[in-house]
């Protein structure tokens, strides 16, 4: 067991390096960048009201009003679209500020060294450390991801078992139809429907449209805070979970059907065990293996699947919206930090998932398993 865990941990290092390297190379060929974004702000070609340049760039922008005209054939200006006429020294300062004054391999090596110490630097366009920015947005994404996964499993597992026991019945057919229809409905469209129906869109005004809590959150009692939190989460979770039941429910059903048809189940029934004893004393542990394996992926995926649109529609300032804004604003410090953290988290959770197999089924031997 220990040898297997150590091998898996050792493999995380080249996996993370590969993910970061591929992403870094792609970014190098992507059009635009933080320097171009500042140039666009300076020249009035485009601005973003939600972000501001930090690290002294505000002074640089003030200086830019008095920049001297540079030659149109200047090699520095020619690298950036819209930079003709700007002072080359100003552009050099921007490159140094964002680290683009160094070759790409040197920038990548420095990034990996810093990330190994969990030093993610500061956001390019927000006056805040990247870690603090991520921690600020994380409660929203954790709330959505955790509750959606738990609700999905709490409903899907019992429903899948019921469908397996009643395989081929009218109940099985009708529930399958409802599940498939729910799976086919895009979450963001269902979210808009919920707003129209229940959030003051056209009909009822029962639920809020913004944030995780009310403005008077600090003045509420413990029970009042719980109710207020559930009140704000009701519509976003419903919109996210509408399509989350299908995979887990059908996976549970098929897994139970496979186990029910095995010989040991027939033997248990012949010994006089009740159906509940057979299902939950023997079948359940074996059938749940595949669901345990899928839980980490479902949990991590809940941070990303539809989260951006749901966060935007319900005005929830979470990691999905942060990632999108960082890509649009070319805030590479936040983009790469998000990628690194969630890649590492995914690898660790996958290892925990594998180790959960042993807890459910002690017959699994990791010592003889090849990674």
Residues 92 and 153 in one domain: no
CA distance 317 to 89: 37
Token readout for 348 is 């660790």
338 inside domain:
no
Q: What pTM did the predictor assign? A: 0.71
Residues 147 and 282 in one domain: yes
Residues 204 and 253 in one domain: yes
Residues 39 and 84 in one domain: yes
Range of the domain at 50: 33-125
Residue 50 reports pLDDT greater than 70: no
| Measured distance between the N- and C-terminal CA atoms of the chain, rounded to whole angstroms | 12
Per-residue confidence (pLDDT) for residue 235, from 0 to 100:
87
DSSP 60-105: HHHHHTTPPPPPTT-HHHHTSTT-TTS-HHHHHHHHHHHTTTS-HH
19 inside domain:
no
Residue 21 reports pLDDT greater than 90: yes
Token readout for 62 is 């003030």
220 inside domain:
yes
Least confident among 206-210, 264-268, 359-363: 359-363
Residues 173 and 231 in one domain: yes
Per-residue confidence (pLDDT) for residue 215, from 0 to 100:
79
Token readout for 46 is 């485009």
Residues 136 and 193 in one domain: yes
Residues 174 and 93 in one domain: no
User: What percentage of the chain's residues is helix, strand, coil (to nearest 5)?
Assistant: 70, 0, 30
Residues 164 and 300 in one domain: yes
Residue 104 reports pLDDT greater than 90: no
Q: List the one residue out of 157, 200, 192, 203 whose CA is nearest residue 295.
A: 157
Residues 76 and 209 in one domain: no
279 inside domain:
yes
Contact 152, 241 (CB under 8 A): yes
Segment 77-85 shows an average pLDDT of 57
Residues 299 and 318 in one domain: yes
Segment 157-162 shows an average pLDDT of 88
- pLDDT confidence of 54, banded at 50, 70, 90? very low
Chosen domain end from 310, 328, 346 = 328
- pLDDT confidence of 366, banded at 50, 70, 90? low
Token readout for 203 is 């009909």
Chosen domain end from 79, 98, 125 = 125
Segment 356-366 shows an average pLDDT of 66
Q: Which residues contact 312 (CB under 8 A, 6 or more apart)?
A: 321
Question: Where is pLDDT greater, at 285 or 191?
Answer: 191
Question: Where is pLDDT greater, at 70 or 299?
Answer: 299
Per-residue confidence (pLDDT) for residue 15, from 0 to 100:
92
Split into its structural domains, the chain has a count of 2
Question: Where is pLDDT greater, at 269 or 84?
Answer: 269
Residue 165 reports pLDDT greater than 50: yes
Domain CATH number, residue 250: 1.10.3720.10
118 inside domain:
yes
222-252, pLDDT tens digit by residue? 898 888 888 888 888 888 877 777 878 888 8
Percent of the chain with pLDDT over 90: 5
1 inside domain:
no
- pLDDT confidence of 60, banded at 50, 70, 90? very low
Per-residue confidence (pLDDT) for residue 39, from 0 to 100:
72
DSSP 292-313: HHHHHHHHHHTTTTTHHHHHHH
Q: Which residues contact 339 (CB under 8 A, 6 or more apart)?
A: 19, 20, 23
- pLDDT confidence of 174, banded at 50, 70, 90? very high
Per-residue confidence (pLDDT) for residue 7, from 0 to 100:
86
Per-residue confidence (pLDDT) for residue 249, from 0 to 100:
87
- pLDDT confidence of 47, banded at 50, 70, 90? very low
353 inside domain:
no
Percent of the chain with pLDDT over 70: 78
Residues 80 and 217 in one domain: no
Q: Is 96 left (phi over 0), alpha (psi -120 to 50) or beta?
A: alpha
Residue 65 reports pLDDT greater than 50: no
Chosen domain end from 125, 159, 181 = 125
314-348, pLDDT tens digit by residue? 878 888 788 888 888 888 888 899 889 888 888 88
String of b and e for 338-366 (b: at least 16 CB within 10 Å)?
bbbbbbbebbeebbebbebeeebeeeeeb
Per-residue confidence (pLDDT) for residue 58, from 0 to 100:
42
352 inside domain:
no
Residue 363 reports pLDDT greater than 70: no
Token readout for 276 is 């509940």
Least confident among 51-55, 256-260, 318-322: 51-55
Residues 318 and 234 in one domain: yes
């Amino acid at each position: 067991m220990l040898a297997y865990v150590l091998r898996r941990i050792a493999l995380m290092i080249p996996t993370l390096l590969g993910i970061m390297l591929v992403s870094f190379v792609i970014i190098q060929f992507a059009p635009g960048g933080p320097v171009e974004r500042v140039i666009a702000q300076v020249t009035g070609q485009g601005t973003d009201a939600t972000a501001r340049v930090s690290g002294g760039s505000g002074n640089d922008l003030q200086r830019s009003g008095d920049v001297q005209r540079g030659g149109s054939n200047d090699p520095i200006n020619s690298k950036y679209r819209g930079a003709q006429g700007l002072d080359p020294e100003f552009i050099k300062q921007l490159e140094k500020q964002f680290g683009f004054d160094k070759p790409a391999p040197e920038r990548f090596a420095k990034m990996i060294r810093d990330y190994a110490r969990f030093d993610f630097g500061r956001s390019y366009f927000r006056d805040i450390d990247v870690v603090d920015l991520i921690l600020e947005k994380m409660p929203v994404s954790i709330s959505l991801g955790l509750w959606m996964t738990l609700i999905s499993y709490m409903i899907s597992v019992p429903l899948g078992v019921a469908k397996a026991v009643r395989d081929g019945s009218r109940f099985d057919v009708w529930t399958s139809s409802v599940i498939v229809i729910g799976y086919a409905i895009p979450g963001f469209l269902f979210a808009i429907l919920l707003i129209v129906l229940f959030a003051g869109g056209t009909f009822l005004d029962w639920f809020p449209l913004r944030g995780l809590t009310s403005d008077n959150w600090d003045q509420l009692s413990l029970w009042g805070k719980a109710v207020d939190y559930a009140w704000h989460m009701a519509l976003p979770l419903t919109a996210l979970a509408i399509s989350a039941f299908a995979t887990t429910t059908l996976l549970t059903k098929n897994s139970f059907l496979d186990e029910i048809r095995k010989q040991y189940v027939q033997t248990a029934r012949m010994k006089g065990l009740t159906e509940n004893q057979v299902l939950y004393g023997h079948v359940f542990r074996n059938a749940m293996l595949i669901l345990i394996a899928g839980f980490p992926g479902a949990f991590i995926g809940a941070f990303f699947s539809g989260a951006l649109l749901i966060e935007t529609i319900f005005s929830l300032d979470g990691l999905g919206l942060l990632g999108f804004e960082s890509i649009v604003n070319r805030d590479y410090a936040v983009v790469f930090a998000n990628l690194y953290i969630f890649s590492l988290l995914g690898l660790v959770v996958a290892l925990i998932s594998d180790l959960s197999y042993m807890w459910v089924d002690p017959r699994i031997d990791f010592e003889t398993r090849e990674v």
